[in-house]
Structure 1
C-alpha cells in the first residue's frame, strides 16, 4: 500500500506527459547554458508548470560567463603527420580559451595525481583518459585532470573518451575560472587510441587550434510551487541545460521531464500536502551548478526541508540515490521503495557532483536521484549520442510515482531531516573529493 492514492499511481503508469515534455526539450537542440536554446527549454518547462496549474510560476534570470563553440583541430607531426577536424574526432571543451599551441604529446593514463607527478609535462600537451581506474573509490573528474595538467606546466590538454563509437566527450573545464588558462579539446576513443599508437613510434608533436568565445550572458531557473503556503519547503529539482553537441536527452532532459511529471502528480493531491513543494529545473548545471548556487544564495536555507535532485534518471527503471550521508533522507527513499516493492541502489559518499551540492555544502539534506545503468562512467552522456532513442517511456512511468511519493512523504509535517553545519559537512567529505575540489578551485570552505 503506497501513500500516494491508487488513482494517482495508476495515472502515472499510463501517462505520456513527461515524454511529451522531453520530446519538446530534445527538439530544441542546443540547450547550452546561457544560449538561446536553454531559454527555449526553460520556457517549455514554464508552459508545462502553468498547464499543470502550479502557482508562483516564473523564470528567474541570473548572469553567468557564457561560452560559444568555434572550430577545433588537432594536427600531429614528428612520428606521424595527421589532421583531425571532424566533430566526431575532436571538439573543444567548454570554458577553453581560443588559441593555438604546439608541443610534444604526453599521455598520463587515468590522470591520477601520481600519473601527473611521474610525467614531465612542462611545456607539453597532456592527454588523459575519461575513464577512472577500477580500484578508485570515486570517479576522477575531467576538471581535476585539466587543473592538474595546468599545475604541471602543460600548455594544452586532450581528453580522450573511453567509450567507443567515434564520440569525443565534452564537458566544462573552466567552472569559476572561465576561460581556463590553456586550450582543451576532447577526442574520441578511436582518435585517442590512434594517438597512443603513433606515439609509440617516437616523439609525437601535436598542434591544438581552438576557436571559442567567452563573454557574459544570462541563464535561467524555472520555478513553480504546489501545496500549502508554509515557510518550510521541499524542493524537487533537475537541470534544464545540456551540452551543445547533442539533444541532452538523458542528461538532463529526462530529469527535467520527470520533475514536470512529479509536479503533475502532486498537484492531484495538493490538498493533502502538509508542506509547500517547490519545483526548480535549474539552468547552467553543466558549467558549475550556477543555477543551483543562485537559488541557494537567494533562499533562507533554514527553511529548506530537503532537496530531491533528479539528474541521470530515466535510462532504466532501477532507482539509485546518493543521500550524501543524510540518514533520514536515505531512510525515506528506502521506506518508499519498500512500499512500492522495488529495489533501491544507494551510495553514501558526500559528492560534489550535481546541483544538490550547492545545498549539501551548506548542510541542507539533499540527494542525487538517478537510475542505474550498465555503462561505464557517463556512458553516452556528454557526447553526440545522448539522444531520445536511448530512453523508454515505460521507465519514466516506473520512476515518476516513486519519486513523487518520496516528495509527498517528505512533505509530512512531522517528517524531520536534520541539517548539518558547514563545519560538520566539511569534516565529513572524503579526502579524494577534497583533493578534487581544491585542485579545481571549487573548495567552498575557508581554511
Structure 2
C-alpha cells in the first residue's frame, strides 16, 4: 500500500495553479453556502474559546499521563456540549516516558568558566547516574560533522557530545526536518561510540533562553541508555564561543528521565453524520496531547480549536453536507504518532479505510493560512482548484499536489487516503515550538478566525462533493 501512495504522489505533479484553467465550476448555491460559512467563521470566536478552555482548564498534557487523560475527559465533555454525534474514545496502550522530578534538569559548565545552562531532556532520553555525571565536551559543528567523524576512534569514550547546527526560520517551516536530524538520531552515534551523554542546540529559531524538547527516534525499538538534552539557543552560543576560544569545556549534569512502563492514551472521535452518504468520511483532526513544559496552545491546542469550530459551524449552518465529517482529536502525537497509527490500524481491522474520502489536520499553530495544497488523483485537481478559488478572498494561494495532510494523517495517507492541507504561516512557529513559551497569549484572535473560515469553507465543499479523490488506479483496484 505504501508503494501505491508514493508512486501516486510522484506521478501527481500538476499544481493547483495549473488546474485553475480546467473546467470545474461549483454551482451557485454551493458557492453561496461556502461563502456564507466563511463570513460566519470570520465573526466567530468559538475556536479561540475552545483553545482557551483546553489550555487553561487542562494545561500541559504529556502522552500517557493523568493530564492527558484529563484532556480526553475535557474533549468528550466539550464535544457533547457542542452537540456532536457519536462522541467516543478509542483507547490504546503506549510506552510511557517522563522526564522525572523537574521540567528543567540541573546542567552547568564547570570549566573553564563555571555557569548554569538552560537545557531539557529530549523525549526518550535516559537519566544520568544517580549522583549525576561530569565530562569533557567534544564539539561538533553540525550533525553532518558527527556523521562524518571516525566511528572507530575512541575520541568520544566517556565524553559529552555536543552538536551545534542551527535551524533557519521560514514561512513553510521547511528547515525543521534538516535541523531535526540531530535530535532524532545523534544519540545512536554518541552512545555507540562510548559517549556518556548528548547535548544538542535546540531545534528551534528562538533567541530566548528556552530549550526546545521533542521526541527522538528509536531504531528497532532500542531506547537510549545515556542522557540526551537540548540546550537553549543562547546557551548553545556560549558553548560555541568557548569552543572557538580553544578552551576545554566540562559540563556537569543530573537528570531523571526514563521509561515508566505501559500506560493508556486514546483518540477522541466525534461526527456530523452525512445526509446522503453517511458512510463516506471526510476526516479532519488535530492532536490533543502536548509536551509537559507548557500548555501547548500552538502545538496543538489551536488545531483542536480550529477543526472543532469548523465542524460545529457547519453543523449549525442548517446545510448538512452529503458526507460525514469526522473530527479526530488524536492522542500521543508528540511521542511518535502513536494515536494516528492506532486509528489507522483500527480502520484497517474494521475495513473502513476505503470509506475515508479525504483527510486533513491542523497542526502548525494559529497564524494565517496562506496556501492550500493537496495529494489527490489528477482527475480531481480541477475540483480542488475550484475549492481553492473560494478561499482566495482569504489570501490563500494555490500549492502543489505532492504534499500530505499533516503528521497524524501520515498513516492514513500511506494506506491510500487522499489528502488536502491548509498551510499556515510558520515564520515564528519554531520560536515557541516544544518550549515553555507555547502559551495561549501567542494566539491572535483575528488570525485564528481566518483559519476557521478557510477550514469551514474547505471542509463543507469536500464533504458535500460527490468526487472520489483517489487516483484512478486506486479506484480501479478497489472496484475489482
Give the alignment partner of residue 232 of structure 2, picking from 148, 166, 188.
Answer: 188
Counterpart contact for 1:21–1:257, Cα < 8 Å? yes
- Determine which of 258, 266, 269 is the counterpart of 1:223: 269
Structure 1 residue matching 2:64: 3-state secondary structure: coil
Q: What TM-score does the superposition give when structure 1 sets the normalisation length?
A: 0.83
Separation in 2, partners of 1:262, 1:275: 15
Quote the residue 2:417 is aligned against: 364
Q: Is the 8 A contact 1:359 1:366 kept in 2?
A: no
Map of 1:259 onto structure 2:
307
1:166 alignment partner in structure 2: 209
SS at match of 1:25: helix
1:323 aligns with 2:374: yes
- Go from structure 1 to structure 2 and tell me whether the alpha carbon gap of 1:265 and 1:96 turns closer, same or farther (over 3 Å shift): same
Instruction: Report how far residue 244 of structure 1 moved.
Output: 0.7
How far apart are residue 389 of structure 1 and its match?
1.4
Aligned to 2:109: 76
Check whether the contact 1:52–1:267 (CA below 8 A) recurs between aligned residues.
Answer: no
- Tell me: higher relative CO, structure 1 or 2? Use CA pairs within 8 A at least 6 residues apart: 2
Q: Using the alignment, how far apart are the partners of 1:44 and 1:328 within structure 2? A: 41
| Structure ID, larger Rg | 2
Shift of 1:178: 6.8
Segments of 5+ residues of structure 2 without an aligned counterpart are 1-27, 475-480
Which residue of structure 2 aligns with residue 107 of structure 1? 139
In structure 1, runs of 5+ residues without a counterpart are: 423-447
Match of 1:117 in 2: 148
1:405 aligns with 2:457: yes
- Following superposition, the deviation at residue 260 of structure 1 comes to 1.0
Residue of structure 1 in register with 2:396 after alignment: 343
Residues 352 and 334 (structure 1), Cα distance of their counterparts in 2 relative to 1, 3 Å cut: closer
Aligned pair 1:208/2:258, yes or no?
no
Residue 350 of structure 1: CA displacement? 5.2
Please say if residues 321 and 369 of structure 1, whose CA atoms lie closer than 8 Å, have aligned partners that are also in contact. yes
Number of the residue aligned with 1:432: none
Deviations 1:339-383 (A, max 9, x none): 1322236466657971121222223223454411323x7221111
CA RMSD of aligned residues (A): 3.0
Change (3 A) 1:346 1:115: farther
Provide the rounded CA distance (Å) in 1 between the counterparts of 2:451 and 2:298.
14
Cα offset, 1:223, TM superposition: 0.4
For the residues of structure 1 that align with 2:472 and 2:213, how far apart are their CA atoms?
35
Structure 2 Cα separation of the partners of residues 355 and 109 of structure 1: 33
Q: How far did residue 198 of structure 1 move?
A: 2.3
Contact 2:265 2:332 in 1 (8 A): yes
Partner of 1:48 in structure 2? 78
Q: Distance in 1 between matches of 2:448 and 2:382?
A: 23
Distance 1:59 1:370 in 2: 28
Counterpart CA distance in 2 for 1:344 and 1:265 is 24
Paired residue secondary structure (1:287): coil
Whole-Å separation in 1 of the counterparts to 2:378 and 2:299: 27
Please name the residue that 1:441 is paired with: none
Instruction: Rate the CA distance shift 1:156–1:346 in 2: closer, same or farther, 3 A.
Output: farther
Moved more, 73-82 or 208-217: 73-82
Residues of 1 paired with 2:191 and 2:433: CA distance? 25
Deviates more, 1:93-102 or 1:135-144: 135-144
Contact 2:370 2:423 in 1 (8 A): yes
Q: Work out the CA distance in 2 between the residues paired with 1:111 and 1:194.
A: 19
